[in-house]
Copies of this chain bind each other. A is one copy, B any other.
């Protein structure tokens, strides 16, 4: 099974990367960009067809490792 876990910064948490990218886009003449926030995606392959099991595994992966839940939110999509 293929899954994607998307990890994004909680709103209100400073995103220095996004800030720097915003500035760079402006100086590159890319118009109209008012805000950039950077996050991560993890494309994960899981063996076995048991969706429930896979979802549980992904959730614990996100909680334990992929996301820093103090400052980040995560979303799991299972295809």
Binding site for B on A (CB under 8 A): 6, 8, 18, 21, 24-25, 28, 30-48, 53-54, 57, 60-61, 64-66
Contact = CB atoms under 8 A, between A and B. Distances in A.
B30 A61 contact: yes
The number of times this chain is found in the oligomer is 2
A74 to B, nearest CB: 12
Given A24-B65, A32-B48, A32-B53, A40 B43 contact: no
B41 A45 contact: no
Given A24-B65, A65-B21, A65-B24, A36 B32 contact: no
Contact of A64 (B28, B36, B60, B65): B28
Given A41-B8, A41-B41, A47 B28 contact: no
